[in-house]
Amino acid sequence: MNNYIVGYNPVSFILCFLLDNVKIIDVTPKYNIYDYHLSDLYLKPSADLFSFLSKLEIRYTEESYMAYFGFVNRIGPELPENFVEIYNLYTRGKSFVEDEYQDQINQYIAYVSINNKGPYESYVYLIKQLEKYVLENNLFIEGSLLSIEPGVVVLNDGDSLNYDRLIYTEDIESLDQILKGVSIKDFIFKHYYPEDVLKLNLPLHNKNVYVCENKSEVDLDMAHITHQILYTGKPYFKKTYYGDRIIYEATKKIFKKEIDGNPILYDYETKIVKDNLDLNKICGIDLVGRLAQCYESLTIKDVILRCGKLNEKYYNDKKIKNLSLDS
């Protein structure tokens, strides 16, 4: 059975571990641990995640930390009045968003700690273990995609792979460019924005991630107090502390060599989902991932649940339906 996953990232690693007879087609030149294929770079507690970690024989505990907030040039642990509405508007372009997204704006953030590691370190450890599983079991094929046609994936080197079932984990905009014979944009505008003739793009806008060296006195102190600070009114909206690094997230490009006195080591461009569509399948291709499904609050729990449904579908032929774009 020729089942493939498009994309080499944390989501595809989870899929490879939980699904049988699948291989990854690596469509990116290099995997980046700072990318956001999931909603956040920490592990949110859930029964499904605990079960998943048990399968991996990973020891864990449930912990929490106090988040800080930057508002009107002040930083503190108290949630300022109207901060949630302003933060939503600042990041998503609207004041009312799903409850899952607002979980990250709480004073206390619950997370799963692996081997007594911090929230970000635990996330990195888990993803690295899953990637190790993929590599040791030779579950990937190197190559970049030229196009996807019914039943065939065409690679840039001229090779092609016939597939029975295909899972796409990268961003939906890229899929729209390589999927031949159909327009995902037309489908989404027809079904999700039928009366909005001004919509010209998919509901995604730019998000820039900057990895900096922690050098400033303020941040060296704050790194001992909290793991993240959420901001409004700054060029960035979130700051995450990770060892001797700081990860900044911004909706606009920052044209400087340093941020808050912290030298920029490198940056990475990804996307934020403005309107959740929660797509599952287009043109017979299953979608899994934050930017594939257009679901900003996608967590590891959501991916695990999707795997359960895909397992039932992929390995029970009586329930398989090859839906067309317009179905």
* Cα distance between residue 49 and residue 231, in whole Å: 29
Tell me how many domains the chain contains: 2
Q: Examine residue 146 and state whether it is found in any structural domain, yes or no.
A: yes
Identify whether residues 292 and 164 lie together within a single domain: yes
Identify whether residues 154 and 187 lie together within a single domain: yes
Helix intervals (H) in the chain: 10-18, 47-55, 83-92, 99-102, 119-136, 172-178, 184-192, 217-222, 290-293, 300-314
Identify whether residues 217 and 234 lie together within a single domain: yes
Q: Examine residue 61 and state whether it is found in any structural domain, yes or no.
A: no
Phi, psi angle pair for 318, to nearest 5°: -70, -20
Query: In this structure, what token pair is assigned to residue 308?
Result: 């359960």
Q: Examine residue 176 and state whether it is found in any structural domain, yes or no.
A: yes
Residues 6+ apart with CB under 8 A from 327: none
Cβ pair 67, 108 in contact under 8 A: yes
Residues 6+ apart with CB under 8 A from 326: 187
Query: In this structure, what token pair is assigned to residue 164?
Result: 């029975």
Identify whether residues 139 and 263 lie together within a single domain: no
What local confidence, expressed as pLDDT, does residue 112 receive? Answer: 98
Q: Examine residue 306 and state whether it is found in any structural domain, yes or no.
A: yes
Last residue of a domain, one of 273, 291, 313: 273
Identify whether residues 214 and 93 lie together within a single domain: yes
Q: Examine residue 220 and state whether it is found in any structural domain, yes or no.
A: yes
Query: In this structure, what token pair is assigned to residue 14?
Result: 């989870």
Q: Examine residue 233 and state whether it is found in any structural domain, yes or no.
A: yes
User: Whole domain around residue 313: which residue ranges?
Assistant: 1-40+126-199+277-327
Identify whether residues 261 and 288 lie together within a single domain: no
323 or 140, which is more confident: 140
Identify whether residues 16 and 145 lie together within a single domain: yes
Say whether pTM exceeds 0.85. Answer: yes
Identify whether residues 171 and 295 lie together within a single domain: yes
Identify whether residues 225 and 318 lie together within a single domain: no
Q: Which of 236, 241, 186 is nearest to 212 (CA)?
A: 241
Identify whether residues 76 and 96 lie together within a single domain: yes
* Cα distance between residue 239 and residue 68, in whole Å: 10
Cβ pair 9, 37 in contact under 8 A: yes
Domain CATH code at residue 158:
3.50.50.60
The most confident of the ranges 32-36, 152-156, 167-171 is 167-171
Q: Examine residue 191 and state whether it is found in any structural domain, yes or no.
A: yes
pLDDT tens digits along 61-105: 999 999 999 998 899 999 998 999 999 999 999 988 999 999 889
Cβ pair 90, 251 in contact under 8 A: yes
Q: Using 50, 70 and 90 to split pLDDT, how confident is the model at 322?
A: very low
Is 149 in a helix, a strand, or coil?
Answer: strand
Q: Examine residue 226 and state whether it is found in any structural domain, yes or no.
A: yes
pLDDT tens digits along 12-31: 999 999 999 999 987 665 66
53-59: which pairs have CB atoms within 8 A and are 24 or more residues apart?
Answer: 53/112, 53/114, 53/126, 55/17, 56/17, 56/126, 56/129, 56/130, 58/114, 58/115, 58/126, 58/129, 59/114, 59/115
Identify whether residues 132 and 36 lie together within a single domain: yes
